[in-house]
Structure 1
Amino acid sequence: MSLLLALSLSMPAISLALSTDKDQPMYLEADSVDIDDAKGVSIYEGNVVITQGSTKLWADKIWVYRVDGETEKVFAIGKPVRFQQRMDDSDETARGQALRAEYYARKDEIYLIGEALLEQGKDQFRSDRITYLRGKSQVKAGASAEGKKRVRVVIEPKKTEQ
């Protein structure tokens, strides 16, 4: 499960997803699960942890929607929902959190909603809504992501060797 972004201002080296994660099996753990095969929905509650490849997500409650045997979307809520994911061509891990996260598998899009934070190294985005469009390697935040609050971006300078 890969988690969540085109801000006019581009963040250096924004490549959150390890490209092979989406092809890995998804493992879910929770205190309880309610599966309704007829409706194609599973609800996981209590200390939920999802692992897929290098991606890990923690939430209070998660809904997994499946169509024709494929995961179509995953919704998560928490105080906060947190995730981390290793990036391609880097040892760094991207981290994020929000009150709600939505992942749309077919479009490969992640939405972080409510007190959203996305960090890569020392760089970070903060807004009420952050969208990560994995397939396009794009990040949107604030109004460009249909949010209502201003975006705060911190980009640390690259250290030069002397």
Structure 2
Amino acid sequence: MLKRFIPVVALVAINLAYVGDSAAQGREDFDKPIQINADRDSFDVANKVAVFENNVVIRQGSLSIRADHLEVTRRDDQSDVFTAKGSPAIYEQMLDDGSPISAEADIISYDQNKQLLTLSGNVKVSQDNSVIQGSEIIYNFATQQLTANRGENESDRVTTIFMPKKKGDNQNEPINR
């Protein structure tokens, strides 16, 4: 069941910026154009920074990200860093199998060069009624490793909730021969 959450988090990062050879579900969306709508945008061409503010909506196929603020920074190596902020920033997408996934966090950041996704502040990732929550979730595409961290307070914890298998879902039932 935990393997189901890794693609959820990975999709958030992959879809913030098009990454050519991704193998995640929802890949049909990667061929679609990225459209960003906002109440205001500004571009600092000299410093290679684009800023989108207020009611920011990013769409790419079935993918949707809503945020209060989005900053895209282009590095000298032509890789980008995407940082979406909100109260919370919300990600939603339909997977290839038709199931929805969603994630929310105060900050969703994707470093294209390092292949590192960081969700921070009140993080919640949901798929099929199962949830993982924490203060920070980091997914490294290069190593395919996910780390969930608690906050700075001793009482903070990482919580993962696995929902029981629904009746009629015999995907994990043994096969009798």
Contact 1:64 1:71 in 2 (8 A): no
Q: How many residues align?
A: 149
* Structure 1 residue ranges without an equivalent (≥5): 1-9
Q: CA deviation at 1:86?
A: 2.5
Matched, 1:103 2:110: yes
Please give the root-mean-square deviation of Cα atoms over the aligned residues, in Å. 2.5
Partner of 2:4: 13
Q: Secondary structure at the match of 1:150?
A: coil
> If the length of structure 1 is used for normalisation, what is the TM-score?
0.78
Give the whole-Å Cα distance in 2 for the aligned partners of 1:72 and 1:123: 31
* Structure 2 residue ranges without an equivalent (≥5): 12-25, 171-177
User: Whose Rg is larger?
Assistant: 2
After TM superposition, the structure 1 = structure 2 runs for residues 13-92 of structure 1, keeping only pairs within 5 Å, are 13-14=4-5, 15-16=7-8, 17=11, 18-67=26-75, 70=78, 72-88=80-96, 90-92=97-99
Distance 1:122 1:134, change over 3 A: farther
Letter in 2 for 1:60: D
Letter in 2 for 1:13: R
Per-residue deviation, residues 63-105 of structure 1 (Å, max 9, x unmatched): 01124695511111111111112234x2112101111110122
The percentage of counterpart residues that share the same residue type is 28
Q: CA deviation at 1:107?
A: 3.9
Q: CA deviation at 1:141?
A: 0.7
More strand by share: 1
